[in-house]
Amino acid sequence: MKTTKWDIYEELNTEEDIQAFVEASIAEAENDTDPSLLAHALGVAAKARGMLAVSRDTGVDRAGLYRSFTKDGDPRISTFDKVARSLGYHLTLAPVQRKKNIQQITDSKANSNSREHIARSR
């Protein structure tokens, strides 16, 4: 059986396709701890948009973009941010919700309130 090389960026023909791909990748990355997933997605979107156009928008040379967004690439945060902005996105940090930590805080407050109530009752 003969196989052919296929790259998803070739299927992203419109801005809507690129946007849908990036947003699906963002949703998938929310449940993944590997940041390279999102970096790869931005690289695919940049290729679909056109690396020359992204290079002009970001001020990062094309070779640098290709290197940064390869499978094993590790883009600097500034490059990642510039490419994201070029594609119409921006970086945001959000707190990670951890059930264990939330439960510990809740239990701690409940215990503290109980002790205060008991102390006042005496």
Whichever domain contains 29, its CATH number is 1.10.260
pLDDT of residue 99: 65
Over 80: is that where the pLDDT of 47 sits?
yes
In a domain, 2, yes or no: no
Residue 13 has pLDDT above 60, yes or no: yes
**Total-model pTM:** 0.71
| Residue 110 within any structural domain of the chain | no
Tell me the residue range of the domain where 57 lies: 8-94
**Residues whose CB is less than 8 angstroms from the CB of residue 84 and which lie 6 or more positions away in sequence, other chains included:** 42, 90, 91
Q: Is residue 62 part of a domain?
A: yes
Residue 38 inside a domain? The answer is yes
Query: Does residue 30 lie in a domain region?
Result: yes
When divided into structural domains, the chain yields a total of 1
Q: Is residue 114 part of a domain?
A: no
Mean pLDDT of 16-44: 89
Q: What is the pLDDT of residues 82-122, one digit of tens each?
A: 999 999 999 988 887 776 655 666 666 666 665 555 555 55
Alpha-helix residue ranges (DSSP H) falling in 30-98: 36-49, 51-58, 62-68, 77-86
For residue 116, tell me if it sits in a domain: no
Query: How large is the average pLDDT for residues 55-77?
Result: 92
Per-residue confidence (pLDDT) for residue 103, from 0 to 100: 60
Residue 61 pLDDT greater than 70, yes or no: yes
Residue 41, in any domain of the structure: yes
